[in-house]
Structure 1
Amino acid sequence: MKKLLLSSIAFVFLLSSCGSGTKGELVGAKGKKWYPEKPYGMELIPRGAFIMGKSEEDQAKLMNAPTKTVTVRSFYMDDTEITNSEYRQFVEWVKDSITRTKLAVLADELSIGPEEGGIGDYAFKDADTTKLSAYDKYMLENYVGMGDNFYEGRALNKDQELIWDISEYPDEYYTEIMVDSLYIPEEESYNGQRTFDVTKLKYKYSWMDIEAAARAKTGSRKDFIRQEELEIYPDTTVWIRDFEYSYNEPMHNDYFWHDAYSDYPVVGVSWAQARAFCNWRTKFKNDDQKSRGKQFVNQFRLPTEAEWEYAARGGIESGTYPWGGPYVISDTGCFMANFKPQRGDYAADEALYTVEAKSYEPNDFNLYNMAGNVSEWTNSSYDPASYDYVSTMNPNGGDRANERKVIRGGSWKDVAYFLQVSTRDYEYADSARSYIGFRTVQDYMGEEDSTQ
């Protein structure tokens, strides 16, 4: 009997070995084929080396950008600054999620399910336990409520359209959420308008501090997971606070939300909000990838200072501006960017404030407004001496304890010096300005296979 059992095991092993098709060779584990898509609205910046820093005269005598040859890997970069329209997509997504969560929580507290209609149409998906998979049932029974509140991890019902017309609210409970929880109080409204309370628009996410984890000698994975929660609506008051004794109320009132400015760069966004946008953009894309059974894409993020300068140069070695230089006026007499020319004649370049994100001529990497329009947040922290110690390969002064973050490119309110590709400037991470925006990058992982 024992011999028969051993023979059976050997036979099964032989069959499994023969059926694998490897013939006993080391062929590697077979995963999904990777067919990456070119990210929408981005340009590929090919890897390369360049001379980073001020090869031209340092007119400000700051001595914070000595020349240094560095190499950066390939990456994709947005061809324009993130626009109001694109950032509004983020805001609307958060608004949708916050609204659905409040509706679902109240429906749960009142024990109202989909079968009863009204607010029950917006109950958590697990409210109807008859439609749950074995996995969902297990997660509901063992893991839901493990976070800050009982509702952590419960799936929202996104199949039901939200109702914004007050004349069509389905019941009193739906009305209660909309009127009392999401809109500004009656005493704060005027001209008969009660607008959405933008302080309720908070985005919560987590990320892992890989650098800290890699350098730590002790500690578990959870010790390096960071939680972030912040308001994400742009600070529209920057148009007034940035300029004393100046009438800029129209920009405060209209710039972010009005369709007339949809294609203009978003401003009034802090460094932390820009990073939150990057996290959301990654999640938004990967949620779609998951629904289509495709592999996740790698993260969108802010560019390092070196990546930004390399991309801004457009492959022109030692150029002063993205178009080469050293002049800001073309041979036809037109200004090449949106800035503050001629000792303060803001309108001389045909723009008083910002212009559409896809204005003027792009550089040789097909990137628009890498000089002027709005300055741009980078991932790097500002240290005047950082060029002396950062690596020559993918350099990044990423000291998280340093709240001064590098901004690049100059803006509509800056003189030409700040438009130079090598000029360094900074702002504090929690600051928002009427002249600072951002664009995102994504690491390059290969071309899409067009034969598939």
Structure 2
Amino acid sequence: MRKIVSLVAVVAFLVGCGRGDQGQLVGVEGKKWHPEKPLGMTLVPGGSFIMGKSDDDMAALKNAPPKTVTVRSFYMDETEITNSEYRQFVQWVRDSVVRMKLAILAEEMGETPGAGGIGDYAFTDTDEANMSVYEKYMYDNYYSLGEGYENRKINKDIDIIWDTRDYPDEYYAEVMDTMYLSPEESYNGQRTPKVTHYKFKYSWMDISGAARAEEGSRADYIRQEEVQVYPDTTVWIKDFNYSYNEPMHNDYFWHDAYSDYPVVGVSWKQARAFAQWRTLYHNSYRKERGKHNVNSYRLPTEAEWEYAARGGLESASYPWGGPYTKNDRGCFMANFKPLRGDYAADQALYTVEAKSYDPNDYGLYNMAGNVSEWVFSSYDPASYEYSSSMNPSVNDENNMRKVVRGGSWKDVAYFLQVSSRDYEYADSARSYIGFRTVQDYLGTDVTLNQTR
């Protein structure tokens, strides 16, 4: 009898634990990964290049000495982020804030879905009959106590009512009233949104700090951020004294005529928040369909930006080669300030559409001119001397000077050179600074030397 029992146990072990791997080390399968190029992005194959000034340092800044560095492959936006794309972010934040305010008031007033009014906007995780074990635990221990509103499930299936004539009840009107300026702050009978309420909250982990620390808990390196997302449209006035730019202040961000133009008036902190939101937005869609998360969107490092701007051309002054800013037909190759006071000599007074002029050899538009671009790196004149030669990245949280690259519509040709460095403060916004994002490429099988 013991022999039979032992034989059954052995068979069970072979069948139950082996699972067809014949006792071999075969690894554990994860979710199937099917690489896909993000919409509006192009693949920049990894490789090495000479970063820094390859010719005379005309400005004598001595902040970009030549240095050979290597970067990994990544995807990059073909164009600067446009007004239309950034408006999607602003409106998502606005709608989320409204829905959260409606849900909180509905819960405070004891209103529930089905009765009409603000109750239809109540949190969707209060129905115990449809809760999972985890959701019920969280509700009993946190949500029912009025804690953790930011983790609650807001109702996204019901449309927000914007027309005051259609407000369902006074509670709804009370919430919506907080989203607009008071009559004393408005003029010409316009109902003006209170854009200071458009705030995006997110968290991130300081992995570099945690890796260098000898002690401390994980929570010590998780950072919480809250960023007001609406662009500063007053930059069109503040950046230029004694200049009439009110039409750009009034129309540039919201009017559909400028939808395909690069967004400006966005600080480094807002650009970084946009990248965080884009990751959240993309992954929430994939999660609903049981797909693997994509890598995070982020601002490019300074080395990545210069490598991409060069388009595979070694020691070139501009993305198209160089050293001239005109082509063989006498036309300017970018949107900048080519002559003293003559902003329109390149057929553009302010910015132009993001997909203007010819792209470089990586398919990237306006890597020189149009708007300067935020990158992730902090500005230190000596950073090339001590940064790594592999994926160099220098970002000091305490250094508020962040690098901007590429030159803009109001800059002279020097700032359009792919090696020229400039900076602005992280909490500042300008009428000539925008940004584009990147996403890491998963894998190492795409490098520049393999694509030649």
TM-score by length of 2: 0.95
Q: By how many angstroms is 1:224 displaced?
A: 0.6
Q: Which whole-Å CA distance do the structure 2 matches of 1:434 and 1:115 have between them?
A: 48
5+ residue gaps in structure 1? none
Within the alignment, does 1:270 sit opposite 2:267 as a pair? yes
Q: Which whole-Å CA distance do the structure 2 matches of 1:31 and 1:374 have between them?
A: 42
CA contact (8 A) 1:35 1:447 kept: no
Indicate which of 207, 212, 218 corresponds to 2:209. Answer: 212
Match of 1:336 in 2: 333
1:379-390 equivalences in 2 (<5 Å): 379-390=376-387
Summarize the Cα distance change of 1:375–1:146 in structure 2 as closer, same or farther, 3 Å threshold.
Answer: farther
Q: Which whole-Å CA distance do the structure 1 matches of 2:14 and 2:368 have between them?
A: 67
Summarize the Cα distance change of 1:150–1:389 in structure 2 as closer, same or farther, 3 Å threshold.
Answer: closer
- String of CA shifts for 1:52-81, please: whole Å, max 9, x gaps: 000111110111111011111000000000
Match of 2:165 in 1: 167
Match of 2:450 in 1: none
1:210-289 equivalences in 2 (<5 Å): 210-289=207-286
CA contact (8 A) 2:73 2:444 kept: no
Match of 1:15 in 2: 15
Q: Which whole-Å CA distance do the structure 1 matches of 2:95 and 2:123 have between them?
A: 14
CA contact (8 A) 2:264 2:430 kept: yes
CA contact (8 A) 1:371 1:410 kept: yes
| SS state at 2:151 partner | coil
Q: By how many angstroms is 1:397 displaced?
A: 1.4
Within the alignment, does 1:186 sit opposite 2:183 as a pair? yes
Q: Which whole-Å CA distance do the structure 2 matches of 1:398 and 1:39 have between them?
A: 26
Q: Which whole-Å CA distance do the structure 2 matches of 1:14 and 1:366 have between them?
A: 55
Match of 2:97 in 1: 98
Range with greater deviation from structure 2 (133-142 or 121-130): 133-142
Match of 2:351 in 1: 354
Q: By how many angstroms is 1:10 displaced?
A: 3.6
- String of CA shifts for 1:296-349, please: whole Å, max 9, x gaps: 001000000000000000001100000001000111111100000112200111
Q: By how many angstroms is 1:7 displaced?
A: 5.6
Q: Which whole-Å CA distance do the structure 2 matches of 1:67 and 1:447 have between them?
A: 26
Match of 1:139 in 2: 138
| SS state at 1:196 partner | coil
Q: Which whole-Å CA distance do the structure 2 matches of 1:88 and 1:61 have between them?
A: 40
5+ residue gaps in structure 2? 446-452
CA contact (8 A) 1:36 1:446 kept: no
Match of 2:151 in 1: 153
| SS state at 1:430 partner | coil
Q: Which whole-Å CA distance do the structure 1 matches of 2:51 and 2:246 have between them?
A: 40
Q: Which whole-Å CA distance do the structure 2 matches of 1:298 and 1:245 have between them?
A: 46
Indicate which of 299, 308, 312 corresponds to 2:309. Answer: 312
Q: Which whole-Å CA distance do the structure 1 matches of 2:333 and 2:348 have between them?
A: 12
Match of 2:110 in 1: 111
Q: Which amino acid aligns with 1:238?
A: V
Q: Which whole-Å CA distance do the structure 2 matches of 1:399 and 1:446 have between them?
A: 28
CA contact (8 A) 1:112 1:119 kept: yes
Q: Which whole-Å CA distance do the structure 2 matches of 1:194 and 1:279 have between them?
A: 31
Q: Which whole-Å CA distance do the structure 2 matches of 1:212 and 1:22 have between them?
A: 41
Q: By how many angstroms is 1:111 displaced?
A: 0.4
Q: Which whole-Å CA distance do the structure 2 matches of 1:349 and 1:43 have between them?
A: 27
Q: By how many angstroms is 1:141 displaced?
A: 1.6
- String of CA shifts for 1:346-368, please: whole Å, max 9, x gaps: 01111111010000110110100
Identical amino acids, percent of aligned pairs: 69
Q: Which whole-Å CA distance do the structure 2 matches of 1:404 and 1:145 have between them?
A: 44
Summarize the Cα distance change of 1:288–1:447 in structure 2 as closer, same or farther, 3 Å threshold.
Answer: farther
Q: By how many angstroms is 1:115 displaced?
A: 2.0
CA contact (8 A) 1:80 1:368 kept: yes
Match of 2:127 in 1: 128
Within the alignment, does 1:201 sit opposite 2:198 as a pair? yes
| SS state at 1:87 partner | helix
Match of 1:426 in 2: 423
Q: By how many angstroms is 1:447 displaced?
A: 11
CA contact (8 A) 1:145 1:153 kept: no
Q: By how many angstroms is 1:399 displaced?
A: 1.6
Q: By how many angstroms is 1:251 displaced?
A: 0.6
- String of CA shifts for 1:135-155, please: whole Å, max 9, x gaps: 3212212343799x4523110
CA contact (8 A) 2:264 2:429 kept: yes
- String of CA shifts for 1:400-441, please: whole Å, max 9, x gaps: 211110000000000000000000000111110000000000
| SS state at 2:100 partner | helix
Match of 1:64 in 2: 63
CA contact (8 A) 1:145 1:151 kept: no
Q: By how many angstroms is 1:218 displaced?
A: 0.3
CA contact (8 A) 1:145 1:152 kept: no
CA contact (8 A) 1:146 1:152 kept: no
Q: Which whole-Å CA distance do the structure 1 matches of 2:110 and 2:282 have between them?
A: 34
1:69-80 equivalences in 2 (<5 Å): 69-80=68-79
Q: Which whole-Å CA distance do the structure 2 matches of 1:281 and 1:95 have between them?
A: 15
Match of 2:448 in 1: none
Q: By how many angstroms is 1:169 displaced?
A: 1.1
- String of CA shifts for 1:260-287, please: whole Å, max 9, x gaps: 1100000000001000000000000000
1:383-402 equivalences in 2 (<5 Å): 383-402=380-399
Q: Which whole-Å CA distance do the structure 2 matches of 1:447 and 1:389 have between them?
A: 26
Q: Which whole-Å CA distance do the structure 2 matches of 1:265 and 1:178 have between them?
A: 31
Summarize the Cα distance change of 1:145–1:422 in structure 2 as closer, same or farther, 3 Å threshold.
Answer: farther
| SS state at 1:115 partner | coil
| SS state at 1:125 partner | coil
TM-score by length of 1: 0.95
